[in-house]
Chains A and B, each alone.
Chain A
């Protein structure tokens, strides 16, 4: 399996011929640079204006630190714009809006502004985390699939931001924030599992993002713990990991019991017991304080669980495909059978008619 993937990666060596690449680049960029020159000649006055503006702004920069002024100026402009075009009422009304609503983009924009006005990196991370929570709130109030997908996409965006921002934090802030991310994502997970009316696919993709962020946070904590070798944080990290293992175990048990009810094929229950085996190994690692190893195993379990789910779904889809194909075929078959039957009937009818004519003639 991994052999195929390795071989596939080797196909990257398929590359354009160097001679062709050179000549093609030359031809293409000769043309493009010529276009650029013509454009610049036609717009030289504009270009000059732009350049002089640049020079002026460099001069102003020497007098006033622009960066310090830019943000407050931005705020004033924004406030003015809001006051003139709809006002604060619109913004607060937009807070209750849902994806697909006309004023929803305003809500997202307000969040973005809020984020860009926040300077402290850990506050930024926290805000993104809160915004992700808002998306889940919205998801809870949405009843149609289209909007739900939008909300989930935004939710994933927010969580991605959290991850990126967390990555950029200083060491001291990083671990505190990682803990918060861990707690919050766990809350989000249980909240999401309650919204049962959504399509499985939607929930699964949101859960996947949560899992990623959660794992990342835990990894940060574990790394930090190992680097410091302090017993207090080790205890804490162990506890967090233990909780994660417990949650994973609960999930495996749940899916295993569902499988038993639906009585699916043997190899799937085999796979789920395989998952349990890895889980046991993870527990042993945890007991031996091999936190990183244990976490890797938990990640492997969730990845395999996803693969299993996908395989199950695929089987379902395959079944549906077959049914869809079978229907018209069987209808055709009926027609063909009927055609076969019609001919003898027509023949015998003709015979009877002939007989009647003959008797009448007699």
Chain B
């Protein structure tokens, strides 16, 4: 979404609680935020709960005239999501729940392609990338998702992570390197098993 457009929407919500303006923001960010949360909590149920909370919090903040005005909407929404995920893990640790094995239930989220052959090929590709991305540490998975799936710029990611552009660039570079290493070791492993 264009920066100017976002500014207009923000001021509309702030000045007269414009629901239509907020719906535009909701439409823009629902999918990316859902994906972002989903890859952090790896469960559909939790991802749905957290995502709806993100937008409720965003609305409450944006429509509150006494709160400081939001300058960067994208970074603002992503930061709420990050904080809520942190809260979610903290609460769970308090309740002493056994943390379930990270399992990304990808294959049932994918829109089915037309032919069976295509479907099998796609499923294989997803299975592979899912398996690989699972082995990355959270910090890396996060930047990989933002940079290569959501295709955000380094500056945008830096704003979301509250880091400098330089360190973000290094982080992305390392994350990609780590992913590449995982892919190549897995390939080797597969070949040896064959």
Chain A residues within 8 Å of B, Cβ to Cβ: 1, 4-5, 7-17, 20-21, 24-25, 27-29, 31-33, 35-36, 39-40, 43, 47, 201, 205, 310-311, 313-314, 317
Main secondary structure of the interface of A (DSSP, over half): helix
Among A4, A16, A35, point to the contact of B48 (Cβ < 8 A).
Answer: A16
Q: A312 to chain B: closest CB distance in Å?
A: 11
CB of A4 within 8 A of CB of B17, answer no
Contact with A along B41-85 (1 / 0, CB 8 A): 000100110011001100100010000000000000000000000
Residue of B nearest to A50 (CB): B16
| In the complex, chain B residues whose CB is within 8 Å of the CB of A313 | 170
CB of A15 within 8 A of CB of B34, answer yes
The tally of residues in B whose CB lies under 8 Å from a CB in A reads 48
> With A13-B110, A36-B18, A205-B166 given, can you name 12 additional A-B contacts, CB distance below 8 Å?
A9-B148, A11-B133, A12-B150, A14-B109, A14-B110, A15-B111, A24-B48, A28-B56, A39-B17, A205-B165, A310-B173, A314-B173
Q: B52 to chain A: closest CB distance in Å?
A: 5
Q: A290 to chain B: closest CB distance in Å?
A: 30
Q: B179: CB under 8 A from chain A?
A: yes
CB of A16 within 8 A of CB of B129, answer no
Main secondary structure of the interface of B (DSSP, over half): helix
CB of B179 within 8 A of CB of A32, answer no
CB of A20 within 8 A of CB of B48, answer yes
* 120-168 of chain B: CB within 8 A of chain A: 122, 125-126, 128-129, 133, 144-145, 148-151, 165-166
| In the complex, chain B residues whose CB is within 8 Å of the CB of A10 | 122, 125-126, 129
CB of A39 within 8 A of CB of B22, answer no
Most-contacted residue by chain B among A1, A29, A32, A35 (CB, 10 A):
A32
Contact with A along B1-45 (1 / 0, CB 8 A): 000000000000000111100110010001100110011000010
A65 to B105, CA, bound (A): 60
CB of A8 within 8 A of CB of B109, answer no
A15 to B22, CA, bound (A): 20
Among A8, A28, A39, point to the contact of B148 (Cβ < 8 A).
Answer: A8
